[in-house]
Amino acid sequence: MSLKNKLITITGAASGIGLSTARLLARRGALLSIADYNPSNLAKASSELSSLTTVYSQTVDIRSTSDIASWLSKTRSHFGDRTIDGCANIAGFHPLWAPKNIEEITDEEFEETIQINTVGLFKCLRAQLASSPEVLTTPGASIVNIGSVSGLIGFAGDSAYVASKHAAHGLTKCVSKEAGKRGIRVNCIAPGQTNTPMVQVMVQGKGTLPLPNLSLGREGQPEEIAEAVAWLLGGESGYVTGTTLRVDGGMLE
């Protein structure tokens, strides 16, 4: 699968699924604009990726409308004012305080999760699909959002995260209907338990995370999620839109 000279933006690109996606796309010839909330990790990622392809990087808080607008505008300028061919909206947050029953969750805890996973995604999609000026290549652009198996079922003690990921899947469905008229595809990936730095921090705090009933009997690797992102960004998935692709090792079977 070639993405040669396709301009792709990636949020959450400094670690985990985002960094694995950036590495894979770079190896396949894509031009990259990467964003992350952590400036030091982003600088390391940019340095690594620059040995593989042309990279623009910018520290971005996806809760900030102005941050997102600035990043997309500077991305286009950096690459000769061209439109963007694909967007991987990967930035996300899982609260370390979980599990907590809903009566134990504070306003601040709930709102932080929703602000990043739902409102942040909404703001990215709104900016990416702006038509004046046009940000994405039309027709033919592709947007891939990262949801979760938590957006497909419920988990006791994790209502904030579960609600935020259900919303991400809902946004994907609605926006795909709107963007399809312009020849833009919008899809979502629902990873199962994946070996990312965020999950590793959760394991350190809790001692262990029980593996759910997985058909494959193991957790996923970020590189495996990245392969699905790349497929949805590429032309091989040209008739796929509005869908949520489970990459979960059979967790929900």
Asked whether the predicted pLDDT for residue 196 surpasses 90, the reply is no
**Looking at residue 204, what is its pLDDT?**
58
Determine what percent of the chain is predicted with pLDDT higher than 90. Answer: 80
Residue type, 30: A
The better pLDDT of the pair 51, 218 is held by 51
- Model confidence pLDDT, tens digit, residues 3-48: 999 999 999 999 999 999 999 999 999 999 999 999 999 999 999 9
Measured in residues, the chain has a length of 253
Is 188 in contact with 169 (CB distance < 8 Å)?
yes
Residue 201 has what pLDDT? Answer: 64
Q: Take residue 252 and report the two structure tokens written for it.
A: 């929900």
Regarding pTM above 0.75, the answer is yes
> What strands lie across the sheet with 31-36, from one edge to the other?
55-59, 31-36, 7-11, 86-89, 142-146, 185-191, 244-247
Question: What mean pLDDT comes out for the span 210-216?
Answer: 70
Active site residues: 161, 165
Q: What is the pLDDT at residue 1? A: 64
CATH superfamily of domain region 7-247: NAD(P)-binding Rossmann-like Domain (3.40.50.720)
Q: Is the pLDDT of residue 208 over 60?
A: no
Residue 203's pLDDT is what?
A: 58
Three-state DSSP class for residue 16: helix
Quick one: tokens of 109? Answer: 């805890």
**Cα–Cα distance measured from residue 146 to residue 108, given in angstroms and rounded to the nearest whole number:** 23
Q: How far apart are CA 68 and CA 191, in angstroms?
A: 25
State the chain's mean pLDDT as an integer: 93
User: pLDDT value at position 212?
Assistant: 64
Alpha-carbon Rg for the chain, nearest whole angstrom, is: 17
Helices (H), the chain: 16-27, 39-49, 65-78, 107-114, 120-128, 159-179, 197-206, 222-233
Contact 31, 22 (CB under 8 A): no
How would you classify the pairing of strands 7-11 and 55-59?
Answer: unpaired
Report CA torsion sign: 208, 213, 219, 225. Answer: negative
Q: How confident is the model at residue 132 (pLDDT cuts 50, 70, 90)?
A: confident
pLDDT, one tens digit per residue, over 160-191 is 999 999 999 999 999 999 999 999 999 999 99
For residue 200, pLDDT beyond 70: no
Q: What is the pLDDT of residues 61-95, one digit of tens each?
A: 999 999 999 999 999 999 999 999 999 999 999 98
- Regarding beta strands 31-36 and 7-11, do their DSSP bridges make them parallel or antiparallel, or are they unpaired? parallel
